[in-house]
Amino acid sequence: MLEKMKDEVELISRHLEVARAVADHQPIGIMKLSELLREPSHRIRYSLHVLEQLGYIRASPEGAVATARTVELFTHLNEDLDDLIRLIESMKREE
């Protein structure tokens, strides 16, 4: 069960890394993102697809660009991650 959760967290981490790279280097294409992030293009393509479906990026003729939703995501990211950390910490068994 926890292995599945770890895999999901790693995937979300990659999506966040791609979203951050798009926001910092927009417009940017798959090949440039792949080179920049040192990830295979199929992984970048998948992350871009997920981010587009969630409204964090949009495709343009020049490449991916961030949306206002991405700005909001990164504005509150640390607080949201702190909330998740507290939740996970609360799952620990006290001995």
- Looking up residue 53, the CATH number of its domain turns out to be 1.10.10.10
pLDDT for 92? 84
CA 84 – CA 10 distance, rounded (Å): 14
Domain that holds residue 77: 2-91
pLDDT band at 95 (very low <50, low <70, confident <90, very high): low
Q: Which two tokens stand for residue 22?
A: 């798009």
Residue 70 has pLDDT above 70, yes or no: yes
Question: In whole angstroms, what is the distance from residue 40 CA to residue 44 CA?
Answer: 7
Distance, CA of 52 to CA of 66 (rounded, Å): 9
How many other β-carbons are positioned within 10 Å of the β-carbon of residue 28? Answer: 23
**With contact defined as beta carbons under 8 Å apart, do 51 and 57 qualify?**
yes
- Calculate the average pLDDT of the chain: 93
Q: Number of structural domains, the chain?
A: 1
pTM: 0.87
Distance CA 82, CA 75 (A): 13
